[in-house]
Chain A
Amino acid sequence: MDAASYQLVVFGLAVALVSNLSRSWLWRSIVLLTASIVFLGLIARSPMVYLPLAGFLLLGYVGLILIERNWPRATMCSVLVTVFAYIWLKKYTFLPESLFLHSAYSALGLSYIFFRVLHLLIDTGDNQEKRHIGLGAYLLYMLNFTTFISGPIQRYDAFSRDQFADKPIALGPRVIGSQLERIVRGFFKVNVLAMLLHMVQDDAVAQLSQPMPMQIKMFAAIKLALVYPLFLYANFSGYIDIVIALARLMRVRLPENFDRPFAASSVLDFWNRWHMTLSNWLKTYVYNPLLVLLMRRISSLAWQPFLGVICFFVTFFLIGVWHGRTSEFIVFGVLTGGGMSINKLWQLWLGRLMGRKGYKALATNSVYVSCSRGLNFVWFGFTLFWFWAGWKQIGAIFSALSVVEWISVWLTAWLVATLVLALWEWLRVALLSIRTTEGPILTSRYALTVYASVMGLVAVVVTALLNQAAPEIVYKSF
């Protein structure tokens, strides 16, 4: 149930069906809450493993009540306690081992609940016009099974607007068709594409660790650099496709989490397209307040442009650190934050060097855009080494080739990524230009029906042939 499995799809469709038996928000809420509890029950048979999570939720709700009742410093205290409780329950390795709970418990979904709790606490504290969130609504928002495992991180206002609407959003045959198509697409991405890419990655790692000719090792290293970002995208976005579609069939619109991320031509642009709900959350609750704070403290006009650089680093360093409890993720955070800051500095430097017009012309130059797109892809692939591998494996991988060979690998990977992504973008534009009076043929619902049929057929055959559990969703463990 905690993977993009048949069970999840069938469960979600059954819940959607029951949920639509009545348009009443109360009925839909009862169904969603019951389904979410059943969902938790199907993941872990013993309710005891959820006790710490229940405590965390209770802590958040108590904080919310205190803020609503205008207790002094309630927002700051609640936020700090929530952050500490999260770090403690997630067992971040910088805390002493003796401090942790030693009985087995489930931290599944905690990371996403953490963002939702913080968002409620901060927004409720900031709101001039106080609102009351009942315990039922709070639990429904927190435990919603469609967003429980891996997000997307939905804001409460958006959730309550759809979930508690007297007149729920429309659900006609057209919407149902497009959501079913999206479920099939998501299922295919996770169970076929991601699975195949993962096999390529495993194969490349094995080749690097074996005594092989240098050319084969270099080829394996290039594959490794290029394949993991694609795997992660297929794995994560596929799952998100499924849950967004399931929620939509329950008349709730979840926010999009991806917007063709590998079309991004800069690191800054990439994080506007990748795991969008996470980066938007951090921009709202970390980047913006930090920028405002720094601008208030540092009044020098010469420093103003560089404040954004600092804020980007802090925000995206936190994104990196959020992903895991170990020191590898600190490096991932430093590289992610560093990439953002350097990208921002590069923009500032080019802007000063070429002037606004010159920079604008360069930024639209197709060769520059293609090279930047390739570089962003390869940079992301590089940072991800600290995302999927431990220190020992990273050491083994990087020691498989010399420094010069690794430089050649990354330069080749950049070239390949540039060419392939440029070709892909060109092809996409060319194919979408084939239009009738009603629009591009390739995005018509007839074409979408064909894609979905093929993907569904292939997914059924591949899953039947493999006869193994659905692949894990990488972002489930964060």
Chain B
Amino acid sequence: MTESNLGKTEIEDAKLPRRDIILLPLIILLTVLVCFLATEVVARHYFAQGAEGNCLVRDAQIGYRFKSHCTMRQKIAESPWITYQFNECGYRSKEPCGPKPPGTTRIVLLGSSTAEGYLVNYDETFAVRAQRRLAQDYGHPFEIQNLGREECFPICVSKRMDEAMQLRPDLLVLALSPVDIQHLDPAEMQDRDKPMAPLGNPDMAPVKISALKKVQVFLSQSYAVTAIQYFLYQNASTFIRLYLHGGDSTAYIRTPLSPAWMKRFDAFDLLLGEMTQRARTAQVPLVVMEMPSLAQGSLLSMDKQPQGVDAGVFDAELKRIAASHGVQFIDVLDAFQHGPKANRLFYVINGHVNGAGSALASDALVEQLEQQQSPTLAGHSQTQDALERGR
């Protein structure tokens, strides 16, 4: 029956046919479903994902590492295609990892995906940008051997100290983000010397998941949901509002820090102490750099931060720990505060910094290194080379 065909009184008096009680809600559901599918089709075009090649190889100590002389490509929904090339040691560096060329300052970069430059093309990573600028500022070659590897959190990093030292670096930089400390499980500290599990451990029993979880997984894999998230997270306050529902994993921006986070920081304190000791023994300065998370960047983009939330609380704690070990702390957060809005500096769904964010981080790194490590960076060609020749 057509509504316009009826007079007003007729509409008011007319009864709804019984079939419509089922039919109309079904039409609503069907319409929503069609809209969702249409969005899915469009989103699959605009938010395409892909991967070419696989450079991962098992490693007895740290679970897995990158193959030597390997190239792989990856694209996530919100990123362009990113090419990863690894040198003969499986580091994301174009420079060979063999003996350091004379007159070159070698920096070893440690950390997880943040250090690796995940989702950033090689020339745009903060490591390569910093390498270029340092070479320009000091007038001699610099190289950064990038040992960064996804999910190589602080315990994994501590296992790589010997590997790092074998490269005979002039400087060690440990790049950290809140995710690194979040994944630092204090319970694992006792067994930290044991080898780490490789990728896709076949011994693990298949996990049973609930129907709700299945729906969540389905939605999280949906391109339409990705598209909605992408636009939703462009707004810093929306992102923060949703992010704060993340429970303990997001509590590093809440004041005061939760006991769970304090335990993580205690564990990191212990690890940093050990790493500093080993670096000192080899007379190599160690520097800790914090790469802000999207949540911290978003908070800095907002005019007013929500109550009980502070972008700088994580930074301050890390700085305190670094200072207690006499380690320089590179404060990148300040550069993000004065930079563009967070949605320009991060992949808003994935959370990693993009090329623009890497540029800010690189500037902060170089400026602060030049302030405190200038003798190491500038004096290398005279002192270290003499030592190298002596060896």
| Interface contact A170-B16, CB-CB below 8 Å | no
Question: Which residues of A lie under 8 Å from residue B13 when comparing CB positions?
Answer: 170, 172
Q: What number of residue pairs across chains A and B have CB atoms under 8 A from each other?
A: 84
Q: Tell me, yes or no, whether B57 is within 8 Å of chain A by CB.
A: no
Q: Give the contacts of B120-150 with A (CB-CB under 8 A).
A: none
| Interface contact B16-A177, CB-CB below 8 Å | yes
Q: How many chain A residues have a CB neighbour from B under 8 Å?
A: 31
Question: Which residues of B lie under 8 Å from residue A172 when comparing CB positions?
Answer: 12-16
CA A452 to CA B35, docked complex, whole Å: 12
Question: Which residues of A lie under 8 Å from residue B3 when comparing CB positions?
Answer: 178, 443-445, 448
Stretch at the interface among B24-32, B105-113, B271-279: B24-32
| Interface contact A445-B24, CB-CB below 8 Å | yes
B interface majority secondary structure: helix
- Centre residue among A177, A450, A465 by max chain B CB count within 10 A: A465
Question: Which residues of B lie under 8 Å from residue A174 when comparing CB positions?
Answer: 11-12, 14-16
Q: Tell me, yes or no, whether B303 is within 8 Å of chain A by CB.
A: no
Q: Tell me, yes or no, whether A213 is within 8 Å of chain B by CB.
A: no
Q: Give the contacts of B292-311 with A (CB-CB under 8 A).
A: none
Q: Tell me, yes or no, whether B5 is within 8 Å of chain A by CB.
A: yes
Q: Give the contacts of A433-455 with B (CB-CB under 8 A).
A: 435-436, 438-441, 443-446, 448-450, 452-454
Q: How far is the CB of B30 from chain A (nearest CB, A)?
A: 8
Question: Which residues of A lie under 8 Å from residue B238 when comparing CB positions?
Answer: 464-465, 467
Q: How far is the CB of A164 from chain B (nearest CB, A)?
A: 19
Contact with B along A448-478 (1 / 0, CB 8 A): 1110111001000100111100000000000
What bracket does the count of chain B residues touching chain A fall in?
20 to 34
Q: Which of A443, A449, A454, A467 contacts B35 (CB 8 A)?
A: A454
Using CB atoms, name the residue of chain B closest to A451.
Answer: B31
Q: How far is the CB of A171 from chain B (nearest CB, A)?
A: 8
Q: Which of A443, A449, A467 contacts B31 (CB 8 A)?
A: A449
Using CB atoms, name the residue of chain A closest to B33.
Answer: A453
A interface majority secondary structure: helix
Q: Tell me, yes or no, whether A362 is within 8 Å of chain B by CB.
A: no
| Interface contact A175-B11, CB-CB below 8 Å | yes
Q: Tell me, yes or no, whether A134 is within 8 Å of chain B by CB.
A: no
CA A446 to CA B24, docked complex, whole Å: 7
Known: A169-B12, A172-B15, A175-B11. A465 touches B4 (CB 8 A): no
CA A445 to CA B21, docked complex, whole Å: 12
CA A448 to CA B11, docked complex, whole Å: 14
Residues of A participating in the B interface, judged by any CB pair closer than 8 Å: 169-175, 177-178, 435-436, 438-441, 443-446, 448-450, 452-454, 457, 461, 464-467
Q: List 6 A-B contacts (CB under 8 A).
A: A172-B16, A173-B21, A175-B12, A438-B2, A438-B5, A440-B5
